[in-house]
Chains A and B, each alone.
Chain A
């Protein structure tokens, strides 16, 4: 998942001790933000290392359930980034996406999931610096929040919650 990601060309930040174990997944649109991350890497901007990047063709491909599933199964943060509105390679993908992302963002806390663990943003291919800023800020925020407590034990693990019929 991470092998071909542009961050591998950027120098790793090994200094922060609490970096360890934190996992952030980034869904980046192929045409802008993935390029932006690549630009940041080529320019050797210092970036946090806890981001795993999944390349998507366009944020229009972004199913809000990708975010939900990541957070439910214990990812510590999810970052979605695409072309600026009106700059989508496919013209309208991000117009669809932003409604869906915003709906999910407002919905997560109702189910007890901290909405700060999910962020969506727009970064173009030339904005290497902007990418560095976004990813650094988001990573810092996730480190402040610490590991994602998740929604409960997976099957097989001991459940502390009473089970069965009321």
Chain B
């Protein structure tokens, strides 16, 4: 089925490429568990495009991070991009905030059945000598060091995928493959990890974040990977004027940095999980934002990246709100 979808994707991109400035998608990498982004202008490369459970990267960030769109003339042809359900929410959020205009992108929507978290695989089978990896029904089948491992999908899917309510793109120009069934339809499932931590006493919560954030090396990969962290080198985590943070390496600095990322994403974060995926220190960074996403849903009935005409709730107000 994946093969059929891939062929359909190739065909659709082939038809569209003459009208596009560029096509952004995924391609196989040296690691069977991960794909890598590919930027296509030459039709010969189209056959390299792939999709499926190893396409975990959210490509939406490329549209807004330098040297992306700014180097492309305003009258250039649109850019084609492959998006999963979660990635499409990033696009919606970026369109909302006018970082990209809808007509500058040609969206190839890909219904998603979950992406594989290579770290979880590594914990189970190790990473040495993985020859091939495929998903068969509800199993990940890995051929490593001459042995075949069958691992239940639930055990190796990315955390965000297990609670995913929107596996199908919110916006698209064309849909590739069959519509997928959401793994979650309730706040309880989506925010189970948030609730699990919330149910612990406050001292344990503090201890949890102290030990997690203590590993943070403030490399800012989480910020750089976030498609909605658009300030780049104007980020207040790095500016000297105003000077919010120093180069000191204590826990207060680490907490404050994560508060900055979280508060700047409050009501904007779509829960795409990129911040957590890229963290070299294995810190559950998205969990911090998930809590704020839950607050936004419960307090203001808002979930980011679902409505291109919506306004992020902290960038607007409602005088009638008296309960706050």
Chain A contact residues, CB within 8 Å of chain B:
64-65, 68-69, 72-73, 85-86, 92, 95-96, 98-100, 102-104, 106-107, 109-114, 150-157, 159, 161-166
Q: Which residues of chain B have C-beta atoms less than 8 A from A111's C-beta?
A: 205-206, 209, 255, 259, 288
User: Could you tell me if B252 and A152 are in contact, using CB atoms closer than 8 angstroms?
Assistant: yes
A-B residue pair count with CB separations less than 8 angstroms: 124
CB-contacts of B225-270 with A (<8 A): 244, 248-253, 255-256, 259-260, 262-263, 266-267
Known: A72-B259, A110-B198. A152 touches B313 (CB 8 A): no
Interface residue B127 (Cβ < 8 Å from any Cβ of A): no
User: Could you tell me if A154 and B202 are in contact, using CB atoms closer than 8 angstroms?
Assistant: no
Q: A92-B319, A110-B205, A156-B248 are in contact. List 12 more A-B contacts (CB 8 A).
A: A64-B263, A65-B259, A68-B256, A73-B252, A95-B319, A99-B314, A107-B292, A109-B202, A110-B198, A112-B205, A159-B251, A161-B211
User: Could you tell me if B253 and A152 are in contact, using CB atoms closer than 8 angstroms?
Assistant: no
Task: Write the B282-316 contact mask toward A (1 if CB under 8 angstroms, else 0).
Answer: 10000010011001100110000000000001101
Known: A65-B260, A99-B314. A112 touches B319 (CB 8 A): no
Interface residue B215 (Cβ < 8 Å from any Cβ of A): yes
Interface-central residue, B205, B255, B256, by most chain A CB under 10 Å = B255
Can you give 17 contacting A-B residue pairs, CB < 8 Å? A65-B244, A65-B256, A68-B263, A72-B255, A95-B318, A100-B266, A103-B267, A103-B299, A107-B291, A109-B205, A110-B288, A111-B205, A112-B202, A151-B255, A154-B252, A161-B210, A161-B211
User: Could you tell me if B252 and A99 are in contact, using CB atoms closer than 8 angstroms?
Assistant: no
Instruction: Kindly provide the distance from the CB of B213 to the nearest chain A CB, expressed in whole angstroms.
Output: 8
| Nearest 6 interchain pairs by C-beta | A112-B206, A152-B251, A155-B250, A95-B317, A155-B248, A154-B250
Instruction: Kindly provide the distance from the CB of A109 to the nearest chain B CB, expressed in whole angstroms.
Output: 6
User: Could you tell me if A110 and B291 are in contact, using CB atoms closer than 8 angstroms?
Assistant: yes
Q: Which residues of chain B have C-beta atoms less than 8 A from A96's C-beta?
A: 314, 316-317
Q: Which residues of chain B have C-beta atoms less than 8 A from A103's C-beta?
A: 266-267, 292, 295-296, 299, 314
Q: How many chain B residues touch the partner (CB < 8 A)?
A: 47
Across the two chains, which residue of chain B brings its CB closest to A92?
A: B317
Q: Which residues of chain B have C-beta atoms less than 8 A from A151's C-beta?
A: 206, 209-210, 251-252, 255
Q: Which residues of chain A have C-beta atoms less than 8 A from B292's C-beta?
A: 103, 107
Chain B contact residues, CB within 8 Å of chain A:
194, 197-198, 202-203, 205-211, 214-215, 244, 248-253, 255-256, 259-260, 262-263, 266-267, 281-282, 288, 291-292, 295-296, 299-300, 313-314, 316-319, 321-322, 324
Instruction: Kindly provide the distance from the CB of A159 to the nearest chain B CB, expressed in whole angstroms.
Output: 7
Assembled-state Cα–Cα distance A48/B317 (Å): 34
Majority secondary structure of chain A interface residues (helix, strand, loop or mixed) = loop
Q: Which residues of chain B have C-beta atoms less than 8 A from A107's C-beta?
A: 262, 266, 291-292, 295
Across the two chains, which residue of chain A brings its CB closest to B200?
A: A112
Across the two chains, which residue of chain A brings its CB closest to B206?
A: A112
Assembled-state Cα–Cα distance A20/B317 (Å): 40
Q: Which residues of chain A have C-beta atoms less than 8 A from B244's C-beta?
A: 65, 69
Across the two chains, which residue of chain A brings its CB closest to B214?
A: A161
Interface-central residue, A68, A99, A104, A109, by most chain B CB under 10 Å = A99
Instruction: Kindly provide the distance from the CB of B281 to the nearest chain A CB, expressed in whole angstroms.
Output: 8
User: Could you tell me if A85 and B319 are in contact, using CB atoms closer than 8 angstroms?
Assistant: yes
Q: Which residues of chain B have C-beta atoms less than 8 A from A164's C-beta?
A: 215
Interface-central residue, A109, A114, A157, by most chain B CB under 10 Å = A109
The listed residue (A65, A113, A152, A155) touching B263 by CB distance below 8 A is: A65
Assembled-state Cα–Cα distance A2/B81 (Å): 54
Assembled-state Cα–Cα distance A68/B288 (Å): 14
User: Could you tell me if B314 and A152 are in contact, using CB atoms closer than 8 angstroms?
Assistant: no
Q: Which residues of chain A have C-beta atoms less than 8 A from B317's C-beta?
A: 92, 95-96, 99
Assembled-state Cα–Cα distance A79/B201 (Å): 25
Assembled-state Cα–Cα distance A161/B281 (Å): 16
User: Could you tell me if A68 and B259 are in contact, using CB atoms closer than 8 angstroms?
Assistant: yes
Instruction: Kindly provide the distance from the CB of B255 to the nearest chain A CB, expressed in whole angstroms.
Output: 5
Instruction: Kindly provide the distance from the CB of A94 to the nearest chain B CB, expressed in whole angstroms.
Output: 9
Assembled-state Cα–Cα distance A161/B207 (Å): 9
Assembled-state Cα–Cα distance A164/B319 (Å): 48
User: Could you tell me if A165 and B215 are in contact, using CB atoms closer than 8 angstroms?
Assistant: yes
User: Could you tell me if B255 and A163 are in contact, using CB atoms closer than 8 angstroms?
Assistant: no
User: Could you tell me if A102 and B324 are in contact, using CB atoms closer than 8 angstroms?
Assistant: yes
The listed residue (B205, B206, B282, B300) touching A166 by CB distance below 8 A is: B282
